[in-house]
């Protein structure tokens, strides 16, 4: 069971970091042979990232939305994220190439991502009566300071 942290907490980091949001949308529910491999591709990527923290991955949270699934990922830098995405030894590049071969522009499955570079001191996070979550799980989970 997830432990709820009663009270007010925040994420603490004095370092720059990257927020990378990525997801997929099932445009054709009947195209299971298209969307299931796409949905399944993220698991091996996350496993690799958790096994190799030296690659700059800090953590992630999954979420669902109508017809889709997404991730909010936290990275040490854009360079780390880009290296993972383009490195032939990591699972992303092969999955991306497979997506383009099997789906391409046929419209059955949509994918998206957004990347945000956050400078030190330019973020806020508040967690009230929550488990350790999000940026706080990726960095430091600390009690809320009085000025919030």
User: If you average pLDDT over residues 58-76, what whole number do you get?
Assistant: 97
Q: Give domain limits for the chain.
A: 17-118
- The answer to whether 45 touches 93, Cβ cutoff 8 Å, is no
Query: Angle at the Cα of 13 (from 8 to 18), degrees rounded to 5?
Result: 110
* pLDDT for the residue 146: 66
pTM: 0.93
Percent of the chain, pLDDT > 90?
95
- The answer to whether 85 touches 60, Cβ cutoff 8 Å, is no
CATH architecture of 17-118: 2-Layer Sandwich (3.30)
User: If you average pLDDT over residues 69-98, what whole number do you get?
Assistant: 97
pLDDT, one tens digit per residue, over 18-54 is 999 999 999 999 999 999 999 999 999 999 999 999 9
């Amino acid at each position: 069971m997830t432990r709820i942290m009663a009270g007010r907490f925040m994420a603490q980091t004095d370092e720059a970091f990257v927020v990378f949001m990525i997801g997929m949308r099932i445009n054709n529910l009947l195209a299971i042979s298209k969307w299931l491999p796409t949905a399944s591709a993220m698991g091996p990527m996350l496993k690799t990232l958790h096994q190799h923290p030296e690659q700059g991955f800090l953590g992630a949270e999954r979420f669902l939305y109508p017809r889709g699934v997404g991730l909010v990922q936290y990275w040490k830098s854009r360079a780390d994220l880009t290296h993972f995405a383009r490195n032939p030894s990591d699972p992303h590049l092969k999955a991306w190439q497979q997506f383009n071969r099997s789906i391409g522009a046929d419209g059955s499955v949509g994918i998206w991502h957004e990347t945000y570079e956050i400078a030190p001191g330019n973020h806020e996070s508040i967690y009230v009566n929550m488990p350790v979550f999000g940026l706080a799980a990726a960095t430091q989970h600390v009690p809320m300071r009085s000025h919030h």
